[in-house]
Structure 1
Amino acid sequence: MAPPSPSPSPRVCVTGGGGYIASWLVKLLLSRGYAVHATVRDPCDQKNAHLMQLDGAAESLSLFKADVLDSAALAAAVEGCEGVFHVASPVPADKIADPESEVMVPAVKGTLNILEVCSSLKVQKVVVVSSTAAVHYDPNWPQGKPKDESCWSDRKVCRDNEIWYCLAKTVAEETVWEYAEKNELNAVTVCPCIVLGPQLQRVVNTTSELLLYVIKGGPDVLNDMLWHIVDVRDVADALLLVYEKPESSGRYICAPNYISAKAMLEFLKKRYPGYNYVKCKADVHQNSRITPIVSGKLSDLGWKPRALEETLLDSIEYHRKTGNLQDVEGQTYRLPDIFRHFQAANE
């Protein structure tokens, strides 16, 4: 009697597969036996070469050329997949000149496109990466109460203060819930905070640029405010957890650790004393909208994130080994623009 044929691997799609979070998610999915369709802008671009070098990639990873604004290309990537992880979204490091075309359209229209594709192809579950940027900016939240999943950034506050990334993530996530309810789509959102940890891709991502700026120093003095930090590997774990748990629903804040800028600088200087660290204001920034937030809902699902110390040390070791912390003549470091609104102190 012939042995039973092995059951096919579950197949999922990851948008923006070459990015910081998505790369770790693809790595995790392959290690768990998934077949993965990953969308990238150009499968032949060297900045995506790390994906095909992952364990199991040769057998189980397929790269698809797709932009989030191209529904037909997205449909080709999603075809045959049981689930979709929508990770692709712009995180600009430079000053945003045209908010509509640079962040709003890719974030909002791109999200709507992938939701429509998932509906048309009867995808069983969609996990969308949002951000705590869609949580922090609620002027009416009770003072002293940690923010949770019921807290939403106010569109008007974001627009009036020109915090375009926060506005884009807020509108995009609201679009998820409006569409999912209207079309009975099984969707879950995950809201990570500042994501640090080692990289798999070569290009330094925006949040890692923030850490490099802190270590290497620069012209902007930082406010002594809270930094909510999560490890990129723990974000990948969270995304797979909410996908695999049938009881998962709604949004999940993914922000297990916070530390003041001053305390973080003291920690880093003690462990790595040889760098020209950024200056930090001595007094705590009292009026910041970045206040404590909680990840209890995600923890209740079984999420067990790393300690903050491990994330910070692993981040620095990665950048030290890759040479990103070496002084290069003529090279200056600057604060990524999306952090400038609340991180940079007024001199």
Structure 2
Amino acid sequence: MPAFKMGFQKLQGTVCVTGAGGFLGSWVVHLLLSKNYLVRGTVRDPLDEKYAHLNQLPNASSNLKLVKADLLDYPSLFSAIQGCSGVFHVASPLPSSPVDLIEPAVTGTLNVLKACLEAKVERVVVVSSGAALMMNPSWPDTRAMDESCWSDVEHCRAIENWYCASKTEAESKAFEFGKANGLDVVSACPNLIFGPILQPTANASSLLLAKLLKEGHDLEDNRHHRIVDVRDVAEALVLVYEKPEAQGRYICTSHSVHVKDIVDILKDEYPSYNYPKNFTDGQQKKEMSSEKLQRLGWSYRSLQETLVDSVESYKKAGLLD
């Protein structure tokens, strides 16, 4: 499985990654360890077997410590963050229902930032989402969305898109807190994240891709997706952490495609799977631009590499059996 470029690095200091055991969090931990950072990863239970993959990463035995923390439990967060020079806030709370997304997302993010302020952290990287940009009815159709575009929270509430509302609220509150308290906050807004999995269980986007290979629907919704590789997102997060000139938001997206385009690539590589037979007419979404992130030095993998590496990891994990 292609991963990151490894090489000798001097010790980079201690950083904290919230939600270290998830799809993206695992790759962020992997990259930081490969760059010889000391990493504290927050998880719900450090002894749970579902986090065992983290302890098997290169340099984990010497440079990784898993700690128990909950986004809604401030003392546990402060304990995890104290003594760190940087924090990557990757975790999202698990709500009891979709409508309950907003308050824990905002409270959890503010708890992390308050702990960072108290612990005198130098920079916080907040993982937001393209969802915090894309629900903006007033944005011109002919103009690619850039970092100045924010989702309209009232519009999100009106159409009951609680995920977009929660991501928008949490990110905007993070910047408000940083500005008011002199805390260096930068954010990254990735879109739909594909790529190989490190964790033993499937996440939502992995299931979405696996279903295209397995379920063989007679008619599939030819939805439009903006896609980015999980490894490229991890590299973007570390890039905006390490570059002193980084500031504000960074859209993190690579490929703008329809579901049929994804299936066509997969069919060429893996012709024997049970693909959808027909597709609806696909509607085009407004484009998003990662130009600001690319100016900082970011680049991304081909869609074919992302899809092939995804499928190979699913096969290894038994998701396609």
TM-score bracket, normalised by the shorter chain, equals: over 0.9
Asked whether the equivalents of residues 192 and 228 of structure 2 are also in contact (C-alpha less than 8 Å), the reply is yes
**Separation in 1, partners of 2:278, 2:76:** 46
**Separation in 1, partners of 2:13, 2:68:** 21
* Aligned twin of 1:15: 18
* Aligned twin of 2:312: 317
* Aligned twin of 1:55: 58
Deviation at 1:271, TM superposition (A): 2.0
Q: Percent identity?
A: 50
**Separation in 2, partners of 1:74, 1:123:** 13
* Aligned twin of 2:104: 106
The total of aligned residue pairs comes to: 312
**Separation in 2, partners of 1:281, 1:156:** 33
Q: Does 1:305 align with 2:303?
A: no
Q: Among 7, 12, 25, which residue is 2:28 paired with?
A: 25
**Separation in 1, partners of 2:263, 2:311:** 13
Secondary structure of 2:211's match?
A: helix
* Aligned twin of 1:3: none
Unaligned 5+ runs, structure 2:
1-9
Secondary structure of 1:157's match?
A: helix
Q: Among 103, 109, 116, which residue is 1:118 paired with?
A: 116
**Separation in 2, partners of 1:127, 1:188:** 5
* Aligned twin of 2:44: 41
* Aligned twin of 1:185: 183
Q: Does 1:206 align with 2:201?
A: no
Secondary structure of 1:284's match?
A: coil
* Aligned twin of 2:68: 65
* Aligned twin of 1:144: 142
Asked whether the equivalents of residues 21 and 199 of structure 2 are also in contact (C-alpha less than 8 Å), the reply is yes
CA 1:250–1:98: 2 relative to 1, 3 Å: closer
CA 1:98–1:242: 2 relative to 1, 3 Å: closer
**Separation in 2, partners of 1:55, 1:228:** 31
Deviation at 1:282, TM superposition (A): 3.5
CA 1:141–1:125: 2 relative to 1, 3 Å: same
**Separation in 1, partners of 2:31, 2:61:** 15
Deviation at 1:187, TM superposition (A): 0.4
* Aligned twin of 1:242: 240
Larger Rg: 1
Asked whether the equivalents of residues 31 and 56 of structure 1 are also in contact (C-alpha less than 8 Å), the reply is yes
CA 1:220–1:77: 2 relative to 1, 3 Å: farther
| Offset from partner CA, 1:194-252 (integer Å, 9 cap, x none) | 11111111010111111112221266954323211111111110000000000000000
**Separation in 2, partners of 1:154, 1:179:** 20
Asked whether the equivalents of residues 220 and 280 of structure 2 are also in contact (C-alpha less than 8 Å), the reply is no
TM-score, scaled to structure 1 = 0.86
* Aligned twin of 1:340: none
Q: Among 56, 66, 79, which residue is 2:82 paired with?
A: 79
AA in 2 matched with 1:106: P
Secondary structure of 1:162's match?
A: coil
TM-score, scaled to structure 2 = 0.93
| Offset from partner CA, 1:270-329 (integer Å, 9 cap, x none) | 32122222355342226xxx3211100000000011111100111111112322112xxx
* Aligned twin of 1:259: 257
AA in 2 matched with 1:99: V
